[in-house]
Structure 1
Amino acid sequence: MNTLLDEYYRYDLHNAGFIERKHSIGEENTLIYGIAQSGKTSLIKSYLLSHKKSTYLYFDCRDCRLDINELNGSLKTFCRDNKISILALDNYNESIELFELDQIILSSEEALELPFHTIRLELLDYEEFLAFESKFDSTALNHFFQLGGFPAMHKIASEDRVLYLQNILNRALEPIEFSILSQASKMVTQKVSAFNLYERLKGERKISKDKLYLHLQSLFDRGYLKSLGKFNHPSAVKKLYLCDIAIKHALVLQKHFGRIFENLVFSELDKRHVECYYDEGIDFYLPQRGQIIIASPFANEHALFKKVEALEAFIVSNRVREVIVVTMNLESTLSHPVSRIEMIPFERWALGDDT
């Protein structure tokens, strides 16, 4: 095992073209978790490369040459003998025993119960996405709709992106989880229960309810799937969203721009940890801000007035201050008796201070 550790210790790390993210690693023990290809490895390597090479050891725990029992018997001694102060275990396996060291950095798809500083690394939001663009012009938004938030997609040729993402998901997920995610991709923004998914999938493959519920929960826990509850109705069926629209592009042919657009709006709110809910006729209600947000890429004023009229009781009873309609490119402020209506293009809304 020392031979393998020595091989990793001698490696020169490469992290070409790294672009700063909104999160960074400090000097404390740190756990970074997030879905596959969210940028965890790049963040770790960027931090390590700012230190003297002899002070750190990095290795990927997925390496099939690693024998966990042998590793547990030699890792601490190896670090001591080589005066290693920073140990980085990418794709950490919980069977690997940890020990006292100046700093330990771990990455995982899931949050782990460790007394470490924790970073949940989400996929790129629109602001981060722009930093990955070679130029910032009117094509950036359309590019975001095509690529989504996976950082690596900028480096993949357009004709290879679908298969690239399919391969990533196939490696990261169990077969049943891949099937669940594929089915969920057809149902984004809809009210979907675990039983609904079970009914859809049982016609395609033999599966028990318990097994489906277990793997479905794992997809939520790791962040591949997201859900949105109904305001003041915690037991109501939740709306279903993907962590990124690129997954829908990669797994299903079915296109519905309105649903993709709503998923994009949800993702921006979710990445900023904004408290929100849905209600009948309301895409997103933000109680702490007194806002209703409606995702309507091609809104028109007449339809908006009719929609707001139907929501008057909710607006009045919950003291909603404004209705924000996120559009593709329409911009306007409308006067309405019960609430201010603001139409804002997605680009300006996503980059605004109060998103």
Structure 2
Amino acid sequence: MEILLQELYKTDIYVDKFHFRKVYLEDTSYQINGISQSGKSKLVKNYLLSLKKNSYLYIDCSDIRIDIEKLNLTLAKFCNLNKIDTLVLDNYIEDIKIVNVPQLIICCETHLKIDYLKSIRLYPLDYEEFLAYEHKYDSTALNHFFQLGGFPSMHKVPSDERNIYIQKTLKYTLETMEFDILIFCAKMMAQKLSPYSIYERLKQTKKVSKDKLYKSYESLCAKNYIHLLEKNNHPKATKKIYLCDISLKSALSLDKHFGRLFENMVFLELLKSGIECFYDDGIDFYIPSRDEIILCKPFADERTLFKKMEAIEAFIFSYSIKKITAITMNREGSVSHPFSRVEMLPFDIWAIGD
């Protein structure tokens, strides 16, 4: 392993045109958690390029040349001998022993219980981060976002290869059962869905272990390939399910439902902003901390929005809602209401403004 470590130590790190994210690294130890293709490696490599070349060691733990047992015997000695200040263990495998260095950076999908590591959750690009990849910001940017989604790598993948690229990435990263569950979730995007419902559906076409399916479902949630939204004041009610990125919908399913895709996109913006929200009957997103309701209405006008207000009036009164925001594709306006401020905002203005 000494030969491999020496090779990795001498190898120059390359980053092709880094676009800054809303998270950044300083001289402390981190664990960076995020799904495959969310940009973890590029974020770390860009940070390493700001350091002296002989002060860091970058190891991609998925390298098939690594013998974990031998690595555990040699890594600490190698770091001490070469005075490594920053050690990066990308695609970290828990069998690899942690060594004592001034700065340790671990990249993996799930959160590890290592107290002294500052935790960063890296999601695929939000809309504002996506715009940094665009050559110009105009009316085509939002449509481009719908086509590509939030995976940074998709900007370099030809349009006719994008779906296959995502499929191959997911197949390589996920277990077979996890992949099967994710395909079904893509069909049920932005709908109420329980793991039992998934089990009942999948067992009709293949042999499925209920226990294994539940564990795989929990794993997908833990790694944030799927996100669950709880019903307001009903924690035991069936949760709504959302995908980690809207690009998975077309890559894993032929089902077309623009309204659900749009809702998933709005949810991800709320998630990445750290805003706690819930769903309710007739309510897409309720934000208690703001006394606000978010409605996903891509093609709404004042008349349809007014009718919607009538349908959810009881909720508005019960929870003293002060603000109702209807997110649209391109329509902007307001609707008169005696108790709440009601406005329509195009997604691009809302996403950047929040």
TM range (shorter): over 0.9
Q: How does 1:207-246 map to 2 (within 5 A)?
A: 207-246=208-247
Moved more, 296-305 or 252-261: 296-305
Indicate if the aligned counterparts of 1:25 and 1:47 stay in contact, CA closer than 8 A.
yes
Name the SS for the 1:288 alignment partner.
helix
Q: How does 1:97-108 map to 2 (within 5 A)?
A: 97-108=97-108
Equivalent residue for 1:146?
147
- TM-superposed CA distance for 1:341, in Å, is 1.3
CA RMSD of aligned residues (A): 0.9
- TM-superposed CA distance for 1:339, in Å, is 2.2
Indicate if the aligned counterparts of 2:75 and 2:99 stay in contact, CA closer than 8 A.
no
Equivalent residue for 2:267?
266
Task: Kindly provide the CA deviation profile for residues 86-121 of structure 1, in whole angstroms up to 9, marking residues without a partner as x.
Answer: 111101111111122111111001000012011100
- TM-superposed CA distance for 1:329, in Å, is 0.5
Question: Which residue identity does 2:4 align to in structure 1?
Answer: L
Q: Does 1:292 align with 2:293?
A: yes
Name the SS for the 1:72 alignment partner.
helix
CA distance in 2, matches of 1:298, 1:256: 13
Task: Kindly provide the CA deviation profile for residues 28-49 of structure 1, in whole angstroms up to 9, marking residues without a partner as x.
Answer: 1111010000000001101111
- TM-superposed CA distance for 1:180, in Å, is 0.3
Indicate if the aligned counterparts of 1:312 and 1:338 stay in contact, CA closer than 8 A.
no
Equivalent residue for 1:4?
4
Q: Does 1:251 align with 2:252?
A: yes
Q: Does 1:50 align with 2:50?
A: yes
Question: Which residue identity does 2:109 align to in structure 1?
Answer: E
- TM-superposed CA distance for 1:171, in Å, is 0.6
CA distance in 1, matches of 2:190, 2:85: 47
Equivalent residue for 1:121?
122
Equivalent residue for 1:28?
28
Q: How does 1:1-355 map to 2 (within 5 A)?
A: 1-115=1-115, 116-352=117-353, 355=354
- The TM-score with structure 1 as length reference comes to 0.98
Moved more, 329-338 or 172-181: 329-338
CA distance in 1, matches of 2:289, 2:81: 54
Q: Which runs of 5+ in 1 are unaligned?
A: none
- TM-superposed CA distance for 1:261, in Å, is 0.4
CA distance in 1, matches of 2:272, 2:204: 35
Indicate if the aligned counterparts of 2:186 and 2:249 stay in contact, CA closer than 8 A.
yes
CA distance in 1, matches of 2:57, 2:340: 58
- TM-superposed CA distance for 1:186, in Å, is 0.4
CA distance in 2, matches of 1:134, 1:171: 32
- TM-superposed CA distance for 1:200, in Å, is 1.2
- TM-superposed CA distance for 1:132, in Å, is 1.2
Question: Which residue identity does 2:128 align to in structure 1?
Answer: E
CA distance in 1, matches of 2:286, 2:140: 30
Task: Kindly provide the CA deviation profile for residues 268-309 of structure 1, in whole angstroms up to 9, marking residues without a partner as x.
Answer: 001111111011000000111011110010002222112111
CA distance in 2, matches of 1:333, 1:196: 40
Name the SS for the 2:227 alignment partner.
strand
Name the SS for the 1:324 alignment partner.
strand
Question: Which residue identity does 2:114 align to in structure 1?
Answer: L
Indicate if the aligned counterparts of 1:188 and 1:263 stay in contact, CA closer than 8 A.
yes
Question: Which residue identity does 1:85 align to in structure 2?
Answer: D
Task: Kindly provide the CA deviation profile for residues 211-260 of structure 1, in whole angstroms up to 9, marking residues without a partner as x.
Answer: 11100010000000001111111111111110111011111111110010
CA distance in 2, matches of 1:142, 1:274: 25
CA distance in 2, matches of 1:132, 1:205: 42
After TM superposition, where is structure 1 displaced by more than 6 Å over at least 4 residues in a row? none
